[in-house]
Chains A and B, each alone.
Chain A
Amino acid sequence: MSQHDTPIRLLDLGTVDPLRSQTIFHAVGYALTEGAPDTILLVSPNAPYVSIGRHQDVDREVDRAVCAELGFPVIRREVGGGAVYLDGNQLFTQWIFDAEHLPATVEERFTLYCTTLVDAYRALGIEAAYRPVNDIHVNGRKIGGTGAARMDRAEVVVGSLMFDFDVLTMSRVLKVPSEKFRDKVFQTMSEYMTTMRRELGEPPARAVVVDAYVAACSAALGRSIEPGVLRDDEIALAERLDARFASKEWLEEGGGLRRPGVKIHEGVRVAEGAHKAGGGLIRCMAVVRDDVLEDIAFSGDFTARPADVPERLAEALIGCTVMEDAIRARIIAFYEQGRPETPGVTADDWVTAVLQATSTAVPA
């Protein structure tokens, strides 16, 4: 990263409609020409919506019927990551910088960017900490999310300051395999996500949060930050991007990035898998925290005697490391101790079902 002492332009746009809250940072990114100022853009949407990652398949990730019923637009962004529910309780903090003015690697850019969010939260009395590569945690709970993209000569890093978060609505808009899975996603998000409201009782006023954030950015970047306005060419480009981002073609563009399960934060995910055993289908739903089974449940059309075998087997697996040998050892011990009758379903079938649910890496 070369040294720069030119001021950073601060654009505080207040609230804008959902579409513009996405297109504006893309427009500023693509409009950045050599010598143009770097920009920190602050904005909130004036209505709720759902944003999906650049390579996600909208129909696999989002329950579009629920979104339509709730009146939520679904908007694909040119930034990576997963589907997320966004609303006016989040202040988007978007950096649009000449690539030469930020660190060269994605990881280093996230470190710098997340550090400013952490410092702002700490100035507000929240014990936030950076968890590489791009998470911010408060006592093990994730606060906000981040993403990044290259747009011509601009490197863009985006994220948010979380005043509050509607976990129930987020769990409603995601496409999940079952209502039971949805409940599990809701419970896990409730447990592992936090907000300024949760940490402080009442979130600070927006102006207080903005001041803390701008001060943190100025200190971390070693540059002055001066209020500015959008240029005409940026507004014109945003208008063009509005049309593209609102189009069915862009939303339904072939995805391909499979996201088996829902990642709650870097260390916690909810996942489901199924295995067809001779004696019937075994479905397995699991919550994995730092590669340990924190919760697990079995269902399916297999026969088991006594009838509580699936529940007791699940209990026996809680706390197990997600490794084939460790899982097999616990299941074999369960069979040896309890002598359950599971016609057509062997210990190996349970192992396979658990691995189906847990072994697939869930992308960021």
Chain B
Amino acid sequence: MIDPVGGERPGNGIVHRGCLIPLDLWYDVSRDVWLRPEGDGTVSLGMTDVAQTRAGKVLHITFKKVGRRIEAGQSAATIESAKWVGPFPSPVAGTVVATNAGAFAADILVANRDPYELGWLLRLEPDEWDPGAAGLVTGSTAVDQYEQRIEALGVSCIRCAD
């Protein structure tokens, strides 16, 4: 369970209007997606704290199948929450190598409770991992951009599963 005030990642993330932004992840800020290179050539993707707040409690999720190719910007999963249905867009092109369907089957609110760890959505083998070329940001740049976005959207994050 993450403490939304930032207890889970002491010194490794900032909290802006309740929204946790870990410093060590890469972000597609406009799509509200985080990415983490796993060191084996694959990349994990998930909803940011802002994304889970905007969507509300997840009710159902379907994943693109393992082995499926995803183009940059294409949806890698479909999320339903409180009568809203939306895509989970992948910022990078690649092939799905794993989904977190098991965790969502055990707890459909896992991304609402823990968007950056237990609530990851998919793992991709990217065609290439060039975060700069894909428009991704990390560290203090990501924090700056996300803080501006959170203000522009007027969002305050809540772990709505609680």
Contact = CB atoms under 8 A, between A and B. Distances in A.
Interface of A: 1-2, 53-55, 78-81, 103-107, 110, 133-134, 146-150, 256-257, 363-364
B115 to A, nearest CB: 15
Contacts of B155: 104-105
A362 to B, nearest CB: 11
A148 B59 contact: no
**Main secondary structure on B side of the interface with A:** mixed
A80 B58 CA distance: 11
Contact of B80 (A55, A105, A146): A55
Contacts, number: 74
B152 A106 contact: no
A55 B59 CA distance: 10
Interface residues of B, number: 20
B60 A257 contact: yes
Contacts of A107: 56, 82
A80 B83 contact: yes
Given A1-B154, A364-B59, A148 B80 contact: no
Interface in B55-86: 55-56, 59-60, 62, 78, 80-86
A106 B60 contact: no
A21 to B, nearest CB: 18
A150 B84 contact: yes
B58 to A, nearest CB: 11
B95 interface: no
A257 B152 CA distance: 34
B62 A148 contact: no
Contact of A106 (B62, B81, B87): B81
B81 A55 contact: no
A157 to B, nearest CB: 9
B55 to A, nearest CB: 6
Given A80-B82, A134-B82, A257-B80, A104 B153 contact: yes
